[in-house]
Each structure stands twice: as C-alpha cells, then as structure tokens.
Amino acid sequence: VEEEEERKQGEKDTQMERKKDEKEGSWKDFIYNPRTGEFLGRTAGSWGLILLFYLIFYGFLGGMFSLTMWVMLQTLDENVPQHQDRVASPGLVIRPHAVEIAFNRSDPANYNHYIQQLHDLLQNYNDSIQERNDLCLVGEYTEQDNEPVKKVCQFKRSTLRQCSGLPDPSFGFKEGKPCIIIKMNRVIGLKPEGDPYINCTAKRATSLQMQYFPSEGRLDKMFFPYYGKNAHPDYVQPLVAVKLLLTKEDYNIEQTVECKVEGSNLRNDDDRDKFLGRVTFRVKVSE
C-alpha cells in the first residue's frame, strides 16, 4: 500500500514539473520561438507589413496637416492680425504698475521700486535715442501704408518735464506729489478721430489739483496709426504724465483716481470692461 501511494505521489510530482516546464516554455516561445522565427507571435515579414502600414498611414496624416497649415498661412498677413474687431478701442495702463500706490514720502525705501519702474519705462524715450527718429506733423496722422520702412515719430522724455525724471529723479515721490504715467495700449491701424487727451478725476467731494505733461494731456495724432511689431519695430507710443498735487491734508487718506481718454471716438464707458479707454488706481501718501 505504501509503495502504491509513493508511486502515485511520484507520478503527481512528475506531472506538475512537466506542466511547469510547458508553461515556462510557452512564455519563452511567445517572446521568441526559435522553431518558427516568430517574435511576440509574429514573423519578421508580418512585423514589416504592420510597420509599413503605419508609416504610410501617419505619413499621410502628417502630409494633410502640413498642407492645411500651409494653405491657412497663405491667408495671413505677418504684420496685421486677420481679426481685430474685438479691440477697436484700446485700454489704458499706468506706471508704476500697481492698483494701489502707497508709500511714506520720508522713507525712500518705500517708493524706490515705484520710481525704478518709471525710469525703466522712459529709457527708450531718452532724448538721445529719440533724436534719431523723425519730426512729424503735429495734429496729423502719420500714414505710411505703402512705405516698406516705417518712420517713427519723436517723443522725447523731456516732453514730460517735471515728470520726466530728469529735473527730479524721484518723480515727485519725495515731495509727496507723485507722477503717474499713462499710456494707451497699441492697436494696429488705430486712427482716433478728434483730438484725444487724458483726463483724470479724483473720486471725492472736492477736486484734486493735477498737472498734465504734455500740456492738457494730449495724445497727438501724429503717433497714429501703428503698423505692428514687425513693420514698426522701433515705434514708441505717446505718454501722458499726471502729477498729483497732494497737500498735507490729503496725507494718510486713500485717493481714488480715474483717468479716461476723451475728446475722440474711443470708448471709455463700457461697464463690462473697466480698462477700455480708462484706468482706475489708488494713491495713499504718508510722512
């Protein structure tokens, strides 16, 4: 009986080892079968046909995509956007770039970062650089649609006088009467009608005295139209500086100022876009 049981157990062990060998052999044969030369279940010829199919298929897709892009690019002008109807009127931005300008006039460390932004902005407006540009007719558009090289009208830094950073490198921050520089965003082909100018008002019961540079905050039409970054690479847009003539009674009180472009057909009253033709900022000076 014992011999019979040992014999059955031996047969059972032999069968298990055989199944194990067959299983290992099947996995090895699936990866590479030396008898048929198959790799992962396919012969070299089969793999070659599959690769050829996908090469042709993706090559065709790539060609179609390239052709579509080429046709689309033929319809574009590298200097003028094809669609710009959503920016018919430009927005206004200020420097220093801050919604709230708060500083202690007695501590230069409080406002140095503000005046550095103004100096950086005006580097391209230095008189020595602007003298290389053209003198244009005041009050007239500088139209040059057919000119291959677009001329650039002069806007000298010294035009901003007390807010140029030349007579006073602190731009008025040291005396508590800061200068804010306003510029209009560039829009290709824009030719504002009328006589555009910047007008600023303080949102308070009494008026706040201000000085504008250039006088009356004018944005002269000779700086329009703009022809784009590629066609008009050295273009400089006109600036308007506003000097807030704050008094000691105004210190430690937040002043809200709104500036708008007026005197032209440019929009400044769209409630859906608070920066279209206008900009609002807050100033608080302490000592």
- Kindly report, residue by residue over 111-167, the tens digit of the pLDDT: 999 999 999 999 999 999 999 999 999 999 999 988 888 999 999 999 999 999 999
pTM for the structure as a whole: 0.73
Tell me what pLDDT residue 96 has.
94
SS (HEC) of the chain: CHHHHHHHHHHHHHHHHHHHHHHHHHHHHHHEECCCCEECCECHHHHHHHHHHHHHHHHHHHHHHHHHHHHHHCCCCCCCCCCCHHHCCCEEEEECCCCEEEEECCCHHHHHHHHHHHHHHHHHHCHHHHCCCECCCCCCCCCCCCCCCCCCECCCHHHHHHHCCCCCCCCCCCCCCCEEEEEECCCECCCCCCCCEEEEEECCCCCCCEEEECHHHECCHHHCCECCCCCCCCCCCCEEEEEECCCHHHCCCCEEEEEEEECCCCCCCCCCCCCECEEEEEEEEEC
Tell me what pLDDT residue 83 has.
63
- Kindly report, residue by residue over 165-183, the tens digit of the pLDDT: 999 999 999 999 999 999 9
Tell me what pLDDT residue 3 has.
58
- For the chain (length 287 residues), average pLDDT per consecutive 10? 60 59 58 73 83 94 94 76 66 92 95 96 96 94 91 96 96 96 92 94 93 95 92 93 96 96 91 87 94
Tell me what pLDDT residue 87 has.
57
Tell me what pLDDT residue 73 has.
83
Tell me what pLDDT residue 1 has.
54
Say which CATH superfamily domain 92-285 falls into.
Na, k-atpase alpha subunit. (2.60.40.1660)
Tell me what pLDDT residue 101 has.
96
Tell me what pLDDT residue 239 has.
97
Tell me what pLDDT residue 269 has.
86
Tell me what pLDDT residue 198 has.
97
Tell me what pLDDT residue 140 has.
95
